[in-house]
């Protein structure tokens, strides 16, 4: 089949872009031909059709979002909807061209019919799918009702029409059972659960000639404790719990490194974290300037991939309050690291029952978690045994082979 991916952004280390890369890899090895369209393209999607207005950070899109959501949302939803529909009409021709010029048999919409970060795009896709009658898979990562910032709005009818759209040619995919149940209860829409996955059939890469100097680049000396927080700096990541854990461990020469950017949802949270770290005397550093989607040279200095960081980490913290699933958790399992995880809802529903062994938090850093972390950092043999068991469980439930079987079923229905 000729399959087109459409999203706001297909580049970088956000969860959606990372998961699309895995879907693309599996679909290609199944023999399908792939095409990409977004407001930002890179890596596997480089060379696709770039439509700048599809990006949620396009100035015109930001302006609409500021008027649509939050305490300062416009009370006149009808006027705002008219403007959203007008902008959606402007997107229709280039998106129709993407579909027709590539003679697509199927489109896979990645989160653009799910979270209303680009309102005109969701409205445009709803109309275009109905107009063309094209087979569509809507891959849902984050629904608007799961995010506090979208709760105050004057455009509820628009949201319930397009986020997501309910059309006969759309097959819906959710990434966890909680989302599946809420979508059915809220909108009467059935969906298939396809969790986040990873290539557990391929052994993880280790330390090599390129990344062997990463600790040195971070200013670490032998014996320093490398604690990795492999996420963006946004409030739902619960990074304050990682700071408190490092503080309470009271281990000398401990360093907490955050790998992803801090400006996706404003800088207020990052500034607060900096204050908390200073108060607790925790060495916390943002290293997004050193970590990219792939190895590269930038402005004369070496850029490492995220996968270069994991092999060096003594401990991975993942204290998220909410996650759609948990890409970074799967990556930490893949690299067989010692992991601290907060029991967020999807973890409790879909991951914890499978029998994984982590250091667990329950919304705060308790004494038991601190002591268990301290003990395991001194017992690499036990950590290795835990990591091997976790790897085997993840390979059974969250592998590319699991994804391929589920995609075959979806494509058979097209």
Per-residue pLDDT of the chain (414 residues; tens, 9 = 90+): 999 999 999 997 788 998 999 999 999 999 999 999 999 999 899 999 999 999 999 999 999 999 999 888 888 888 999 999 999 999 999 999 999 999 999 999 999 999 999 999 999 999 999 999 999 999 999 999 998 889 999 899 999 999 999 999 999 999 999 999 999 999 999 999 999 999 999 999 999 999 999 999 999 999 999 999 999 999 999 999 999 999 999 999 999 999 988 887 788 999 999 999 999 999 999 999 999 878 999 888 899 999 999 999 999 999 999 998 999 999 999 999 999 999 999 999 999 999 999 999 999 999 999 999 999 999 999 999 999 999 999 999 999 999 999 999 999 998
Is residue 264 exposed (0-12), middle (13-18) or buried (19+ Cβ within 10 Å)?
middle
| Dist CA 84 CA 92 (whole Å) | 13
HSE, side-chain direction, 13 A CA sphere, residue 26? 19
| Dist CA 246 CA 269 (whole Å) | 19
pLDDT, position 262: 86
Residue 338 phi, psi (nearest 5):
-75, 130
Please calculate the CA angle 258-348-113 and round it to the nearest 5 degrees. 70
Residue 285 phi, psi (nearest 5):
-135, 140
| Dist CA 250 CA 305 (whole Å) | 30
- Domain ranges in the chain are 2-197+400-412, 214-397
| Dist CA 345 CA 320 (whole Å) | 10
Q: Which pTM does this prediction carry?
A: 0.88
| Dist CA 149 CA 69 (whole Å) | 7
Evaluate whether 132 touches 106 at the Cβ level (below 8 Å).
no
Omega before residue 6 within 30° of 0, cis? no
Evaluate whether 406 touches 397 at the Cβ level (below 8 Å).
no
pLDDT, position 123: 98
| Dist CA 8 CA 263 (whole Å) | 17
pLDDT, position 91: 97
Q: Give which of 15, 119, 12 is closest to 62, Cα–Cα.
A: 119
Ranges of H-type helices in 343-399? 345-346, 367-377, 380-397
Query: What is the topology classification, in CATH, of domain 214-397?
Result: Rossmann fold (3.40.50)
Omega before residue 164 within 30° of 0, cis? yes
Is residue 2 exposed (0-12), middle (13-18) or buried (19+ Cβ within 10 Å)?
middle
Q: Tokens representing 70?
A: 């939050």
Residue length of the chain: 414
Q: Do the two domains 2-197+400-412 and 214-397 of this chain adopt the same fold? A: yes
Q: How many CB atoms lie within 10 A of CB 106?
A: 20
- Which CATH code, of 2.40.10.120, 3.30.2010.10, 3.40.50.2000, 3.40.50.10860, is assigned to 2-197+400-412? 3.40.50.2000
Evaluate whether 282 touches 247 at the Cβ level (below 8 Å).
yes
pLDDT, position 105: 97
| Dist CA 243 CA 365 (whole Å) | 10
């Amino acid at each position: 089949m000729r399959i087109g991916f459409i999203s706001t952004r297909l580049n970088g280390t956000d969860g959606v872009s990372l998961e699309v890369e895995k879907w693309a890899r599996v679909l290609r090895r199944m023999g399908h031909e792939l095409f990409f369209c977004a407001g930002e393209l890179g890596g596997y999607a480089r060379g696709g059709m770039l439509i700048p207005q599809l990006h949620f950070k396009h100035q015109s899109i930001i302006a609409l979002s500021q008027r649509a959501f939050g305490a300062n949302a416009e009370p006149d939803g009808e006027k705002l909807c008219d403007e959203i529909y007008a902008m959606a009409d402007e997107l229709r021709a280039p998106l129709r061209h993407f579909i027709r010029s590539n003679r697509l048999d199927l489109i896979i919409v990645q989160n653009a019919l799910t979270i209303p970060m680009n309102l005109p795009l969701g409205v445009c896709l709803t109309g275009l799918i109905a107009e063309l009658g094209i087979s569509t898979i809507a891959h849902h990562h984050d629904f608007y009702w799961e995010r506090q910032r979208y709760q105050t709005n004057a455009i509820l009818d628009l949201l319930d029409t397009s986020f997501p759209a309910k059309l006969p040619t759309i097959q819906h995919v959710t990434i966890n059972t909680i989302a599946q149940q809420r979508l059915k209860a809220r909108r009467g829409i059935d969906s298939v659960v396809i969790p986040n996955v990873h290539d557990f059939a391929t052994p993880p890469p280790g330390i090599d000639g390129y990344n062997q100097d990463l600790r040195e680049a971070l200013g670490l000396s032998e014996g320093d404790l490398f604690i990795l927080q492999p996420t963006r700096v946004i409030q739902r990541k619960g990074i304050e719990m990682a700071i408190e854990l490092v503080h309470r461990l009271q281990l000398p020469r401990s360093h907490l490194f955050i790998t992803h950017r801090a400006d996706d949802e404003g800088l207020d949270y990052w500034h607060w974290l900096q204050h908390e770290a200073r108060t607790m005397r925790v060495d916390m550093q943002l290293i997004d300037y050193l970590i990219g989607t792939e190895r590269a040279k930038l402005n004369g200095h070496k850029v490492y991939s995220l996968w270069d960081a994991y092999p060096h980490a003594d401990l991975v913290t993942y204290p998220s309050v909410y996650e759609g699933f948990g890409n970074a958790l799967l990556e930490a399992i893949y690299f067989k690291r010692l992991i601290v995880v907060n029991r967020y809802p999807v973890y409790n529903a879909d991951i914890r029952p499978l029998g994984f062994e982590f250091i667990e938090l329950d919304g705060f850093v308790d004494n038991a978690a601190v002591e268990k972390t301290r003990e395991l950092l001194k017992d690499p043999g036990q950590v290795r045994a835990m990591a091997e068991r976790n790897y085997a469980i993840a390979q059974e439930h969250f592998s590319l082979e699991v994804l391929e079987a589920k995609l075959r079923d979806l494509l058979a229905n097209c």
